[in-house]
């Protein structure tokens, strides 16, 4: 782990950049789970259409990061507890990372009127 000073988004308060190493690891794990456990012919929640391309975009580095939390799919399914528990656990971690939501609050710093915080990123 490496501790970095990260700019905060002035509107959301989330990180203005994401831990790409962690995000790629989580995207690979989530995509592997989808391939092994979600039958594309029985995919009632369209995980193959909504989440798999998001994971692939992370791995291909074609997404603009961070992705706003409000733009992530499956909000209703998550809120209603409809998703398989094993998928949900992986997806929840992925959503935090891809949207730049802090897992823990360390020390906030203001530099020239701009808010920053320290964050631990994977190397």
The DSSP result for 50-80, as a single string, is HTHHHHHHHHHT-S-SSPPGGGSS-HHHHHT
User: Mean pLDDT in each 10-residue stretch from start to end of the chain (123 residues)?
Assistant: 94 94 98 97 97 98 96 96 96 97 88 95 93
With 0.85 as the threshold, say if the pTM is over it.
yes
pLDDT at 107: 84
Q: What is the pLDDT of residue 105?
A: 80
Tell me what pLDDT residue 106 has: 82
Q: What is the pLDDT of residue 104?
A: 84
Domain ranges of the chain: 2-121
The per-residue pLDDT for 28 is 98
């Amino acid at each position: 782990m490496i501790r970095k000073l990260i700019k905060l988004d002035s509107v959301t308060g989330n990180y203005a950049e994401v831990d790409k190493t962690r995000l790629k690891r989580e995207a690979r794990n989530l995509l592997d789970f989808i391939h092994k456990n979600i039958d594309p012919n029985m995919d009632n929640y369209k995980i193959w259409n909504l989440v798999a391309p998001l994971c692939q975009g992370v791995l291909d580095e074609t997404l603009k990061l961070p992705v706003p939390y409000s733009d992530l799919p499956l909000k209703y399914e998550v809120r209603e507890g409809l998703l398989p528990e094993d998928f949900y656990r992986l997806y929840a971690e992925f959503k935090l990372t891809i949207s730049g939501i802090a897992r823990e609050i360390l020390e906030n710093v203001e530099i020239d009127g701009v808010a920053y915080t320290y964050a631990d990123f994977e190397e």
